[in-house]
């Protein structure tokens, strides 16, 4: 069911500094910063030949990554995003298997303008998983 690794997301306390690390130190091709108010984050994507890195900065006091950054003050890997062909079919299959979908269970439009869902880390080897309909 899961397909390509769409991106690895890294939550960071200072998105400008993290972008500079990926652009200047690692020589990566980085996007502009984009606020994602529906998700409470600001994103920068680093384009790699085989996948992407999503740098996440907190947007607003209620940002869902604030707790993660309190536990990981220098930042850390926040989630993995796998592509699926049909997000509703994937959700139904996972829920039937007992997996927990975060939120109300309905896909939201993610950072690439495509529907996404997040799955509870306790059900997936301690890793927050994002599914994106490719
Ligand atoms: Co993501």
In angstroms, what is the span from residue 6 Cα to ligand 1's centroid?
Answer: 8
Residues ≥6 apart with Cβ < 8 Å to 76: 10, 11, 68
In angstroms, what is the span from residue 25 Cα to ligand 1's centroid?
Answer: 23
Q: What is the pLDDT of residue 110?
A: 87
> Is residue 130 annotated as part of the catalytic site, yes or no?
yes
In angstroms, what is the span from residue 98 Cα to ligand 1's centroid?
Answer: 23
In angstroms, what is the span from residue 117 Cα to ligand 1's centroid?
Answer: 10
- The domains of the chain, with CATH numbers, are 5-133 (3.10.180.10)
Catalytic residue among 61, 83, 130, 132: 130
Q: What is the pLDDT of residue 38?
A: 86
Q: What is the pLDDT of residue 74?
A: 97
pLDDT higher than threshold 90 for residue 22: yes
Q: What is the pLDDT of residue 122?
A: 97
Q: What is the pLDDT of residue 23?
A: 98
Mean pLDDT (whole number) for 32-49: 96
* pLDDT confidence band for 111 (50 / 70 / 90): confident
């Amino acid at each position: 069911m899961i397909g390509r690794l769409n991106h690895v997301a890294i939550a960071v306390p200072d998105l400008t500094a993290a972008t500079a690390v990926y652009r200047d130190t690692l020589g990566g091709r980085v996007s502009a910063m984009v606020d994602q108010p529906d998700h409470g984050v600001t994103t920068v994507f680093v384009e790699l030949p085989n996948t992407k890195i999503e740098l996440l900065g907190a947007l607003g006091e209620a940002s869902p990554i604030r707790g993660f950054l309190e536990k990981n003050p220098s930042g850390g890997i926040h989630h993995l995003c796998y592509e699926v062909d049909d997000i509703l079919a994937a959700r139904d299959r996972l829920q039937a298997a007992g997996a927990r979908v975060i939120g109300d269970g309905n896909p939201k439009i993610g950072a690439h303008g495509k529907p996404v869902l997040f799955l509870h880390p306790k059900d997936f080897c301690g890793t927050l998983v994002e599914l994106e309909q490719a």
